[in-house]
A and B are shown apart, each in its own frame.
Chain A
Amino acid sequence: MSVGTSWYLTLAAILFTIGAIGLLVRRNVLVMFMCVELMLNAATLTFVTFARGLDDIAGQTAVFFVLVVAAAEVVVGLGIIVSIYRRRPGATADDIHGLKG
């Protein structure tokens, strides 16, 4: 019905790569989090693509659960960010390096 699966997979790969590079390069914690969401989306896109390609509903079910878990993860992650920010306002990812060996 739509274009071939490999296109979608390629697109998902590109999104994932952009998200990964963004995670590694940006220092603002919230932007890093958003890049993680980007990667998750790429993964969900891949799932759905395979669901179509293999004619299997399990792929979409998986996306369903991924969505739920992503939401829970965002909630807890933002809670952590908030409590970090209370201590040190204006912290970036680089400011927390207490485990430096």
Chain B
Amino acid sequence: MTNLLAAATIPDAITFAIAAVICVVGAFGVVLARNPVHSALMLVMTLFGVAVLFVEENAQFLAAVQVIVYAGAIVVLFLFVIMLLGVDRHEAIERDPLPGQRLIAVCLGILGLVELILLARGKWPHGPRSVSGPLGTPADNVSRIGKSVFTTYLLAFEVTSALLVIAVVGAVVLARRPRRAAGDDGAPFVEPDDSIGDLDAGEPEPLDQPAEDTEAGAAVEFADADAEAAPTGRAAGRTGP
């Protein structure tokens, strides 16, 4: 309603200021930290700041989703990979091997920033209002988003779900280990049957002992190669990425 654009109150301004500072400091931290783990943590800080700003802007659902999905899953995934691959070494940040890259990047960045600010101060934020439906009160936020997603943007929703499936499949395929046995061209998406067991063992493993490379958990974000990190030596039929 129109009270959304009423004059800002003092607490709002202070909240905005603090959240803005948090975001910017976090952003600088991401870019300037030498240790990638530090970068990830700084990213979390930025995400929290942005979540606060979401709440300020009457997008409560999104703030929650931001914290849960972005800060709570995506960055965690980043950290998993960092730890897994051991890229937490220090990167030599003083020198840039590509000549002129740094200078030009900073210049272009500042130039772009100036342009964006100029654009922001213009009359751009004006246009047809409430095309898809008004924002409503904070209590309505979830239902309004839900209504919008499941009616107006239903096609996008369905496509996005297909995208998620593809992403899962893609991640599984990408993260497989390269196959070790020759002459094995098994179907790429079929999990190998590891219950056959080691031929030297002499007897098949009992079925209740789960194979260590069970398929990924329900959550999309866990479909990575983590489970295959433990070398078992039993994988005779694994196919690689």
Contacts and interface: CB of A to CB of B under 8 A. Distances in A.
Direct contact of A and B (CB under 8 A): yes
Given A6-B120, A14-B24, A75 B167 contact: yes
Given A2-B56, A18-B27, A34-B43, A25 B131 contact: no
Interface string A62-86: 0111011111111110111111011
A73 B167 CA distance: 7
Given A27-B91, A31-B39, A48 B62 contact: yes
A53 B33 CA distance: 35
Contacts of A60: 59, 61-62, 135, 141, 145, 148
A34 B37 CA distance: 11
- Residues of B in contact with A, size category: 35 or more
A60 B147 CA distance: 12
Given A30-B81, A56-B132, A57-B132, A18 B116 contact: no
Contact of B135 (A6, A55, A75): A55
B127 A54 contact: yes
A72 to B, nearest CB: 4
Contacts of A19: 27, 30-31
B58 interface: yes
Interface of A: 1-11, 13-22, 24-31, 33-35, 37-38, 41, 44-45, 48-58, 60-61, 63-65, 67-76, 78-83, 85-86, 89-90, 92, 94
